[in-house]
Structure 1
Amino acid sequence: MLRLSALYRYPLKSGKAETLAHIGLDKLGLDGDRRWMLVDEASGRFLTQRAVAQMSQLSALWSASGGLTLSGTGRPTLEVALPGADAELRGVTIWRDTLRVPDAGDEAARWVSDFIGKPTRLVQVPLERARTTAAGYGKDDDQVAFADGFPLLLIGQASLDDLSQRIGRPMEMLRFRPNLVIEGSEAFAEDGWKRIRIGDVELRVVKSCSRCILTTIDPATGERSADRQPLATLETYRKEPDGVMFGQNLVNDGVGRLEIGMPVTILE
């Protein structure tokens, strides 16, 4: 039987993961997932572990009010409130998208600037300012917060086990930053799924996920693998014209609640 075996949320894009037992979903995916982002103060360009590896060590915990609790080694904890209706809007760029979103204020900016080592701002995206997903995939009204392209990422546990066996050492699931992990399927079975149901929530599988250098960063230490693993091995058997693929991007149809252990049904 297929079942949901792990749930992860990333309140801050490219920050540490939160491991969850249960969570609700809204139109943008898991409640609170990647609703916050760091941007370069001058350009408004988004920052991630691809260029700033120490972001893997930045903890940003979601609060019930929608705010964040920021913490990091050797840094004081900072409570950041959800920006109000009168918050300053800042122009930001994430991949090819440009948008104006609420800025978290100067105190938060000082904290993240000290952590990153250069002038940085913390921003948040409310539902009404969310982006649309990549053209050509899914439906025209599908939306996403600050995730790269789609609200949810799913990986089969057997797919990671297959990769670890090929490499010769276990790989951490969090290198791939999934939201949903499924047990009970064959390796890479998720490549052939089109629609699934978890509990009462239906989800559409819209696109394979292309992987980058971020997967070579150890989520526990923030250090890059000297041997470029697991990307080097993935390139030998998972390379396609659009990139090195591992995991599937999903969009949830409607809202609901997910809980570890829920059965997963393949609808199509």
Structure 2
Amino acid sequence: MEKLFSLFSTSAGSAGGSSSAPAATVSDIFVYPIKSCRGISVPEAPITSTGFRWDRQWMVVNSNGRAFTQRVEPKLALVEPELPPGAFDFNWKSSDSSYMVLRAPDMDPLKVCLNRECNVVDGISVWEWSGTAFDEGDEASEWFTKYLGKPSRLVRFNTPSESRFVDPDYAQGYTAMFSDGYPYLVISQGSLDFLNELLKEPLPINRFRPNILVDGCAPFSEDLWKVTKLNNIAFHGVKLCARCKVPTINQESGTGGTEPTETLMKFRTDKALKRGKINKAKVYFGMNFVCAESLSAATLKEKVVKIGDPIHVLQSYASPADAAA
């Protein structure tokens, strides 16, 4: 418990304002092409109007068009996508020979053409959103149906016709594709290290599925980052990330457990963070961000986040209790 008290005084003291020295640096970047499937670690990623290029552009749906996630299909954690070399270069364009290759235990690889014409299907839904999407065809459907053991289809976000807005109570005008709610999730290495010191068995960062991992700051500093400049790109921290059961799923085996939720319940709840509105079921780990430049095609041009990019904090929340959640 003494360690937790020390943590809160340290993180509150690091709220800070803008400074010539960076608050942290980007240490890893992750993109998840298919919702709830394995992520790809990349040295750099271009920013689009909906998040990093390729992030949650696809998802697997059931016979009713509803999204499958690891919450009910933990085997999705073992599906590993591979994109073509150069796919994260800013000026890269797909061709008829460009494929996303999917691999999973006891399955032959599946090649999904990135340049094919797809049928548009109605009634696709994820959380509160419903609309149309591109159907990746029967071969992909048969692959996922066999793998999951139930009728499944692979769909791609219908970018030309659809928009999926984030919750306007937290960030107005911003859009995402098939992510749970926001374009970017930021977590610090310090937060993970602090948590791992409390756990009997340390966990890798893939349990928490961030887009941006940062290093060089105190544990849970990211809770306080209201307005930042990441390599001169404006990112706004808009909502603490309330965690579901996915962090309890081993991303290497697809099996579930009770940690880290059991430990996070001791110090990352509304009550522990002294938040006014108490939801006893919620624990928080990481901060959801939006990118200000994504609102305008003109300012978005050739914006890329790279490993090693500095992060400067321009505005801070006074404490986690002041951040939205």
Give the TM-score taking structure 1 as reference length: 0.94
**Kept in 2: contact 1:204–1:251 (CA 8 A):** yes
> Secondary structure, in 3 states, of the residue corresponding to 1:89?
strand
**Kept in 2: contact 1:83–1:102 (CA 8 A):** no
2:142 paired residue number: 110
Which residue type is aligned with residue 138 of structure 1?
A
2:287 paired residue number: 248
Change (3 A) 1:86 1:13: closer
Matched, 1:258 2:305: yes
**Kept in 2: contact 1:196–1:202 (CA 8 A):** yes
Q: What is the rounded CA distance, in whole Å, between the counterparts of 1:83 and 1:35 in structure 2?
A: 14
Gaps of at least 5 residues in structure 2 are 1-21, 88-93, 271-277, 294-299, 316-325
Aligned positions of 1:1-268 closer than 5 A = 1=22, 2-41=24-63, 43-63=64-84, 64=87, 65=94, 68-82=100-114, 84=116, 87-128=119-160, 129-139=162-172, 141-225=173-257, 228-240=258-270, 241-242=278-279, 243-254=282-293, 255=300, 256-268=303-315
Change (3 A) 1:86 1:58: closer
Moved more, 57-66 or 113-122: 57-66
Q: CA deviation at 1:244?
A: 0.8
Q: CA deviation at 1:67?
A: 5.0
2:323 paired residue number: none
Q: CA deviation at 1:135?
A: 2.7
> Secondary structure, in 3 states, of the residue corresponding to 1:187?
coil
Segments of 4+ moved more than 6 angstroms: none
Q: What is the rounded CA distance, in whole Å, between the counterparts of 2:245 and 2:210 in structure 1?
A: 16
Q: What is the rounded CA distance, in whole Å, between the counterparts of 2:39 and 2:264 in structure 1?
A: 23
Q: What is the rounded CA distance, in whole Å, between the counterparts of 1:131 and 1:67 in structure 2?
A: 25
> Secondary structure, in 3 states, of the residue corresponding to 2:237?
strand
Q: CA deviation at 1:83?
A: 6.6
Would you say how many aligned residue pairs link Structure 1 and Structure 2? Answer: 264
Q: What is the rounded CA distance, in whole Å, between the counterparts of 2:218 and 2:104 in structure 1?
A: 38
Where is the strand percentage greater, Structure 1 or Structure 2? 1
